[in-house]
Amino acid sequence: MTRLDDGTSGIGAASDTTTHASRRLLRVQSSPSRHRPLRRAAVGATAIGALLLAACSGGTGTGSEAEGPVEGGTLVYASGDAEPTCLDPHVGGNYPQALVATQYLEQLTALDENREPVPWLAESWELAEDGLALDVTVRDDVTFTDGTPLTSEAVAANIAHLQDPETGSSTGYLALEKVEDVEEVDERTARIHLSEPDSALLENLAMPWLAIQSPAALERGMEENCAAPVGTGPFTVSEWNRQESIVLERNEEYTSPDPAAENTGPARLERIEWRFIPEAATRYSALASGEVHVIDNAQPDAISRAAEDDAIAHIDAPRPGASNRIELNAGQAPFDDDRVRTAFIRAAAVDEGIESLFFGTAERSYSALSSIERHVHADPAPFGTDLEEAAALLDEAGWTAGDDGVRTKDGERLTLRFPVSTNQSIPAEISLFEQIQAAVAEAGFDVQIQQLDLASWYEALAKNEYELVSAPYTRTGPDVLRVLYHSDGIEPAPSGYFANHAQLDDPQLDELLDEAARTEDETERGQLYRQAQEIILGGHYILPLYDQQNHFLHRAGLHGVRTLAVSTPTFVDAWLED
- Do strands 133-138 and 189-194 pair parallel, antiparallel, or not at all (unpaired)? antiparallel
* Binds another protein (CB under 8 A): choice among 15, 22, 60, 85: 85
Among 255, 285, 371, 451, binds another protein (CB under 8 A): 285
* Among 425, 477, 556, CA closest to 42: 556
Give the binding-site size for another protein (rule: CB under 8 A): 46
Q: By CB under 8 A, is residue 495 in contact with another protein?
A: yes
C-alpha span between 524 and 532 (Å, rounded):
13
Question: Which residue, 388, 292, 366, 419, is CA-closest to 540?
Answer: 366
Can you say how many angstroms the Cα of residue 567 is from the centroid of all Cα atoms in its chain? 5
Is residue 191 helix, strand or coil?
A: strand
> Does 493 engage in binding with another protein (CB under 8 A)?
yes
Q: Tell me how far apart the terminal alpha carbons of the chain are, to the nearest angstrom.
A: 9
Pairing of strands 312-316, 294-295: unpaired
Which stretch, 136-144, 359-367, 489-497, 554-562, contacts another protein (CB under 8 A)? 489-497
Choose one: 57-65, 182-190, 393-401, 455-463; the region binding another protein (CB under 8 A).
Answer: 455-463
Determine if 7 is a binding residue for another protein (CB under 8 A).
no
Closer residue to another protein in complex, CB, 423/508: 423
Which CA distances in Å does 177 have to 197, 204, 303, 506, 554?
11, 11, 39, 22, 38
Rg over alpha carbons for the chain, rounded to the nearest Å, is 25
Q: Find the part of the chain contacting another protein (CB under 8 A) among 81-89, 110-118, 122-130, 441-449.
A: 81-89
User: 107: helix, coil or strand?
Assistant: coil
Is residue 242 near another protein by the rule CB under 8 A? yes
Q: How do strand 569-570 and strand 412-413 relate by DSSP bridges? A: unpaired
In the complex, the smallest distance separating the C-beta of residue 491 from another protein, rounded to whole angstroms, is 12
Which one of the spans 39-47, 103-111, 286-294, 403-411 is the region binding another protein (CB under 8 A)?
286-294
Identify which range of 82-90, 103-111, 343-351, 393-401 contacts another protein by CB under 8 A. Answer: 82-90
Applying CB under 8 A, does 278 fall inside the site for another protein?
A: yes
Contacts of 65 (CB under 8 A, 6+ apart): 33, 55, 56, 559, 577
- The amino acid that residue 131 corresponds to is G
Q: How far is the CB of 99 from another protein (least distance, A)?
A: 16
Nearest approach in angstroms of CB 289 to another protein is 5
What are the distances in angstroms from CA 490 to CA 92, 329, 340, 369, 496? 21, 11, 21, 19, 10
- Interface with another protein (CB under 8 A), residue from 274, 276, 433, 575: 276
Per-residue x/- track, 114-153, another protein (CB under 8 A): ----------------------------------------
* Distance of closest approach, residue 291 Cβ to another protein, in angstroms: 6
Our finding on whether 165 is near another protein (CB under 8 A) is: yes
User: Which DSSP string do the residues of 46-86 spell out, in sequence order?
Assistant: GGSTTS--THHHH----HHHHT-PPP--EEEEEE-SPPPS-
- Residues near 223 by Cβ (< 8 Å), separated by ≥ 6? none
Are 544 and 383 in contact, with CB atoms under 8 Å apart? Answer: yes
Distances (CA, A) of 187 to 155, 225, 319: 11, 25, 36
Listed ranges 120-128, 240-248, 331-339, 372-380: which one lies at the site for another protein (CB under 8 A): 240-248
**Do 239 and 519 form a contact (C-beta atoms < 8 A)?**
no
Single out the segment in contact with another protein by CB under 8 A; choices: 44-52, 281-289, 342-350, 378-386. 281-289
CB 443 within 8 A of CB 300: no
- Please give the C-alpha separations between residue 145 and each of 40, 104, 225, 227, in angstroms, as whole numbers: 40, 9, 13, 15
Q: Pick from 17, 130, 221, 223 the residue near another protein by CB under 8 A.
A: 223
Instruction: Give the separation between CA 59 and CA 33, rounded to whole angstroms.
Output: 12
Select 98 or 155, whichever has its Cβ closest to another protein.
Answer: 98
In this complex, which beta carbon is closest to another protein, that of residue 474 or of residue 570? 474
Strands in 211-349 per DSSP E: 235-241, 245-250, 271-276, 294-295, 312-316, 324-328
If binding is defined by CB under 8 A, does position 170 make contact with another protein? yes
Q: Is 166 in the site for another protein (CB under 8 A)?
A: yes
User: What is the CA 144 to chain-centroid distance, rounded?
Assistant: 26
According to the binding rule CB under 8 A, does residue 457 interact with another protein? yes
DSSP 194: E
Among residues 41, 174, 349, 401, the one that binds another protein under rule CB under 8 A: 174
| Interface pattern 26-65 for another protein (x via CB under 8 A) | ----------------------------------------
Stretch that binds another protein, among 284-292, 315-323, 359-367, 436-444 (CB under 8 A): 284-292
Asked if 450 is part of the footprint of another protein (rule: CB under 8 A), the reply reads no
**CB–CB of 258/110 below 8 Å?**
yes
Largest CA distance in the chain: 85
Site string for another protein, 514-553 (x = CB under 8 A): ----------------------------------------
One of 25, 281, 333, 438 touching another protein (CB under 8 A): 281
Please state the closest distance from residue 167 (CB atom) to another protein, in A: 9
Chain residues 408-437 in contact with another protein, contact rule CB under 8 A: 423
Contacts of 10 (CB under 8 A, 6+ apart): none
- Find the part of the chain contacting another protein (CB under 8 A) among 246-254, 392-400, 454-462, 548-556: 454-462
Q: Which among 270-278, 373-381, 515-523, 546-554 is the span making contact with another protein, rule CB under 8 A?
A: 270-278
Nearer to another protein, 11 or 455 (CB): 455
Nearer to another protein, 83 or 337 (CB): 83
289-308 positions binding another protein, by CB under 8 A: 289, 291-292
Q: Which residues bind another protein (CB under 8 A)?
A: 3, 78, 82-83, 85, 91-92, 94, 165-166, 168, 170, 173-174, 223, 241-244, 275-279, 281-283, 285-286, 288-289, 291-292, 423, 453-459, 493-497
